[in-house]
Amino acid sequence: MTMKRGFKKVVRTRMLATGESYSVARAKILSSDKVRCVECGQYYTEGDEVDSQYYDSPYDYWKGCHQYCLACWLGVGPKDIARTLKEIEQEETSQS
């Protein structure tokens, strides 16, 4: 895996959030250990999106990749879609 310059930011962000050392945080990110998304509860691999277009600006996924899956970070996760569908149903009901 080619490391982008933002990868160090991810490691440092994880260090601050978990209290882990740099080498431990880096190893966990690069490992295949699954992380559970705090929003939707789905499991994902933290280092999978390092080369993604969403990792750096304007999406800055590096800031939340140790807590959120990419879909939830982008606002299109399972709970976001359920909320949107519920809002649409409520609007349609109120217009009837």
4 vs 48: which has the higher pLDDT: 48
**pTM for this prediction:** 0.61
Q: What is the pLDDT of residues 56-93, one digit of tens each?
A: 788 888 888 888 999 999 999 888 877 777 777 877 78
Cα 38 to Cα 27: distance, rounded to the nearest angstrom: 21
State yes or no: pLDDT of 28 exceeds 70: yes
10 vs 76: which has the higher pLDDT: 76
Compute the mean pLDDT over every residue in the chain, rounded to the nearest whole number. 81
State yes or no: pLDDT of 5 exceeds 80: no
Mean pLDDT over residues 47-61, rounded?
80
CB environment 56-88: b (16+ within 10 A), e (fewer): eeebebbebbbbbbbbbbeeebeeeeeeeeeee
Q: Can you give the pLDDT at residue 89?
A: 80
